Amino acid sequence: METFADRLKAAMNEQGLKQVDLVRLAQQKGIKLGKSHVSQYVSGKTVPRTDILHFLADALQVDPDWLNNNNNDSTLSDVDEIQTSADNSGGMKVREFKKSSKLNNVLYDVRGPVVDEAARMEEMGTHVLKLNIGNPAPFGFRTPDEVIYDMSRQLSDCEGYSASAGLFSARKAIMQYAQLKHLPNVTMNDIYTGNGVSELINLTMSALLDTGDEILIPSPDYPLWTACATLAGGKPVHYICDEQSDWYPDIEDMRKKINDRTKAIVIINPNNPTGALYPKEVLQQIVDLAREHQLIIFSDEIYDRLVMDGKEHVSIASLAPDLFCVTFSGLSKSHMIAGFRIGWMILSGNKNIARDYIEGIKMLSNMRLCSNVPAQSIVQTALGGHQSVNDYIVPGGRIYEQREYVYKALTDIPGISAVKPQAAFYMFPKIDTKKFNIVNDEKFALDLLREKKILIVQGSGFNWHQPDHFRVVYLPRIEVLKEAVGKIGEFLQYYRQ
């Protein structure tokens, strides 16, 4: 029997439209439709709600009943529908529950359809080389022995909840770290621990944004920022990071996108996915802009210790004592303990202008009770003493040498160029889309996965709106990277869309 997916693909072929074309047409009409949604429709994993069905039928110039295969029961609506199904109760009406409409435009393609396909392939016994997620442990980066030992000694003391903001010892160590980074006006009460920075991003967006409020977020971005702002009811407005200027934020583009609804600016420094490190001069321009328009600054600095080439990381909050800033960091990357789930945020600067917002942060922090207590117990150990990450980021160190290798190897492939990253462990190479006729970067990632068993994340997964980039994680050892880049080079010798 012909399915909705079959008819959708036939109609798309008839009109010469690709998935990305449908997304763009939806954007033009103010309809929330993401790439991952269209991908799921085409693959047959889901069918659209009634309003999306009618948009698709109109865009494809077909009858909606034909597109839906005259099967109204298969179409999802905005509300829970009562549908008739032949079940064991003799055909009684069964209520079907749908996901919240708040999720309609929330995307997180770092773990999206391409990753789903990789999981399916692995279930079938295929080995997939994963260059998609910055997870240190699978690549041999181990948590320091001292951290493991200290956690084991304290486990019996970690039963029960901690204070919602976190253990005294953890917050004291974080406060002292903030002092070393020259963050102004920080006390113990300004520090909140979380189950990773991810939880705290969600918390801060939920506490701040009302429906229609705007927040400036970089493009490319770490997509959790866009997803959390959207879920909170806000409107993410993406400012461009300029590849021609070492991926630094385009200050004029940022300026053009500020209006009366704008509440805050987000920066990711060091940057994921580009590996860029912002110099003090660029940070000062952002501070000046935030000061001019009275905006909050959110600074995601989870990679602040993974800086190479003798460069120095500057916390933007240190330049803005008169503004309200929220700085995020944690142990998952710089201390290679991603699975322990411990991050934090530091409120600094002029807290008087954010008293009510801070009350909202406290409320949401209290509602989740506390973050992982055993993980909090090792913050003091991790932040003090010898920093094992320093051995990785100098010549001869693993991260440094793997960066050197993958940068040269990838840029030696005809049609691939890149800005050399200065921090973190990501690179965001550019593809010559004319050479390879690439119009859909998700399809490129899927084709590479299926043919060469290599998993990357397409640029659109980071809210980059051209199909000409992808992110590579260079945590694997050089011999593994050599195999991966070799296969990418082989693939691009013949690949055309």
Residue-wise pLDDT for 307-348, tens only, equals 999 999 999 999 999 999 999 999 999 888 888 899 999 999
d(CA 198, CA 368): 14
For position 142, what pLDDT does the model report? 86
Within 13 Å and on the Cβ side, how many CA atoms surround 217? Answer: 24
The Cα–Cα gap between 14 and 48 comes to: 20
pLDDT at 90: 54
Distance CA 139, CA 481 (A): 11
Closest CA to 5 of 83, 60, 69, 54: 69
pLDDT at residue 109, rounded to an integer: 65
- Enclosing H/E stretch for 124: none
Cα 41 to chain centroid, rounded: 23
pLDDT given at position 92: 66
Query: 3-state SS string over 75-111?
Result: CECCCCCEEECCCCCCCCEEECCCCCHHHCCCCCHHH
With the C-alpha atoms ordered 139, 141, 145, 146, is the resulting torsion angle positive or negative? Answer: negative
Q: How far is Cα of residue 464 from the mean position of the Cα atoms in its chain?
A: 12
Closest CA to 333 of 248, 241, 399: 399
Residue 230's H or E segment, with its range, is: helix 224-231
Weakly modelled stretches of the chain, pLDDT under 70: 1, 70-92, 109-111
Give the Cα separation of 77 and 210 in Å (integer): 25
What is the pLDDT, as a whole number, of residue 186? Answer: 96
pLDDT of amino acid 344: 97
pLDDT value, residue 80: 39
